Amino acid sequence: MLFLGLYTAEYERTFVLDELRQVMSRFGRYERYDCSSKDPPSPQELLRRLAPADVALTGWPTPRFPEALVDLPDRRLKYICHLAGAVGYFLPRRYLEAGILCTNWGDRGIWPFAEGALALMLACLKATHRIGRHMRTSPGTAFPFPHPSPTLRGKRVGFVGYGAIARTLTGMLRPMLCRFGVYDPYAQDLPEGVGRWASLEDLFAESDIITLHCGLTPETTGMIGRDLLERMKPHAICINTARGKVVREGELIEFLRRRPDVTAGLDVFETEPLPADSPLPHMDNVICYPHCVGGGNATFSRLAAEAAARNLQAFCTGQPLQYVITPEKYDRMT
């Protein structure tokens, strides 16, 4: 059995740890095809590399898979073990429709990403970016908080999208006695104390903090623009740790320039990496992260590698897999 990794050497060092290598060595042979976004392989070369593989290991650097592979009469690929979360950027839906299995790291990334969204909320409320500049330019003088109530206690938090990360974030916010409302047509079985907004318009008008957790789909692309932003309350906060293209970025920039009382905490952008000429990092009411709000450390990498090792072991021995990406889940994923 051939296990083919499609990522960079750095990604391999981070996620393809001993337990994962041991499973692959028991059941076959592992190779890595180096994939760099600076010099991506052609679809033809990628097809040639993938054709003999039984299992593909993928990650953030993985290029778009060629759809032609699905139609090969002698296709061997049966399983894609994704060492990350979202798969839509590299995997055409047809692979799943053809019965090729795909798993991701499941709940391994939930806590760090929820924690990152919480960190952005607190940073916006506590004006940490402004205080840092204040201390560099006016040390020893009082700092005037831009918000009348720089605390999470009692705030109304509106969730746009309510998947696993948003649900975990809700639990983190409960000790602050926050109130919760959700806009998500697909969310079912909301936890106790979590209400449902009938419309995005109501959510934006009534929430003190708006936090985006929806997937990027044709329905959500450009979903949030001037018409919704204009409804935000004085001193409201908008957090986006989902996908940049959910928001019309030009309209967000124009709105934030006119509404300095509103603060945005952004981990994602329409174009990534964020262009050097973007005004967002220089705006006084914006905190920017370079799509790393979930952090990343040895503990997180090991948890992801352990989940992948268990799934590879299960696949090679005919056992059920965890964290399977179905076509329906694919359609709603971030």
Q: Does residue 19 have an active-site annotation?
A: no
The answer for residues whose C-beta is within 8 angstroms of residue 261's C-beta and 6 or more apart is 146, 234, 235, 285
The per-residue DSSP string of 13-72 comes to HHH--HHHHHHHHHHSEEEEEE--TTSPPPHHHHHHHHTT-SEEEE-TTPPPPPGGGGG-
* φ/ψ (deg, to 5) at 24: -65, -35
Q: Is 131 helix (H, G, I), strand (E, B) or coil?
A: helix
Distance CA 45, CA 255 (A): 45
Distance linking the first and last C-alpha atoms of the chain: 31
Q: Is 153 exposed, middle or buried (0-12, 13-18, 19+ CB in 10 A)?
A: exposed
**Distance separating alpha carbons of residues 206 and 214, to the nearest angstrom:** 19
**For the chain, how many helices (H) and strands (E)?**
12, 12
* Residue 243: active-site member: yes
Residue 93 among the catalytic residues: no
Cβ contacts of 170 within 8 Å, gap of 6 or more: 159, 180, 191, 194
Task: State the Cα–Cα distance between residues 124 and 66, nearest whole angstrom.
Answer: 42
d(CA 226, CA 247): 9
Which one from 243, 248, 249, 310 is the annotated catalytic residue?
Answer: 243
Which DSSP category does 175 fall into?
G
Q: Cα separation of 118 and 79, whole Å?
A: 35
- Active-site pick, 291, 302, 306, 332: 291
Catalytic residue among 97, 219, 254, 272: 272
- The residues pairing with 265 across neighbouring beta strands, listed in sequence order, are 239, 287
Place of tokens 């049966």: 78
Active site amino acids: 243, 272, 291
